[in-house]
Amino acid sequence: MSKEELKKDVEVENIEEQVEQQVEEQSEEQAAESQEVSVEEELQTKLKEEKDKFLRLFAEFENYKKRTSKERIELFKTANQDVMVAMLPILDDFDRAYSEISKTKEKNLLKGVELISNKLKNVLQSKGLELVEVAAGDTFNADHHEAITQIPSPTPDMKGKIIDVIEKGYKLGEKVIRFPKVVIGQ
């Protein structure tokens, strides 16, 4: 082999080595880029997961706030319920006293009982107490009335209807705190 051929072989080998190095460098760069891309994709995925967790947690907290505020409002509406229920027998006693005193000729006594009864009713109404309206002849509804007893109806059209109201019913706001006690015809 001549010197020129050796030089060409060496040059070819050098060129081949350079090409191999460039190919290796390019493949390393591509591998590094793909790792960067995969790391970036992984971070994007984690970010999406964390955002989703945050949104769910935030929505859950908002629901909790709404629920507790609704419960608090409901508690304030019915906070006086125990006191109101305790006052209902007194209202009933005033109604009975009024009906008995009205049978006598004592007008001053009747007027005094009426004034006290009205004053008590007005105070309780200002606190949210309402009378549940029930009258004889209304249709009995187990969801809205409490049947004390059944008696034979005086007329056939009074079957299943309210014959007499024994005790008035009351509600506090929208909640019934005492159902009206009634007698129904059978």
Instruction: Using the 3D structure, point to which of 77, 107, 129 is the last residue of a domain.
Output: 77
Token pair of 52, please? 């989703």
Which of the two residues, 14 and 183, has the higher pLDDT score? 183
Check if the beta carbon of residue 171 is closer than 8 Å to that of residue 134.
no
Token pair of 85, please? 């229920």
Domain count along the chain: 2
Q: What is the CATH number of the domain that holds 92?
A: 2.30.22.10
Cα-based distances in Å from 148 to 6, 114, 151? 124, 28, 10
Amino acid at 50: E
The mean of the pLDDT values for the chain is 85
Token pair of 126, please? 């200002």
Q: What is the pLDDT of residues 66-108, one digit of tens each?
A: 999 999 887 877 677 888 889 999 999 988 888 888 888 888 8
- Quote the pTM value: 0.57
Per-residue pLDDT band for 178 (boundaries 50, 70, 90) equals very high
Q: What is the pLDDT of residues 28-80, one digit of tens each?
A: 777 666 666 688 888 999 999 999 999 999 999 999 999 999 998 878 776 77
Q: Above 60 in pLDDT, residue 1?
A: no
Beta-bridge partners for 159? 185
Residue 123 CA to residue 87 CA, distance in Å, equals: 11
Check if the beta carbon of residue 101 is closer than 8 Å to that of residue 140.
no
Q: Say if residue 124 is in the same domain as residue 41.
A: no
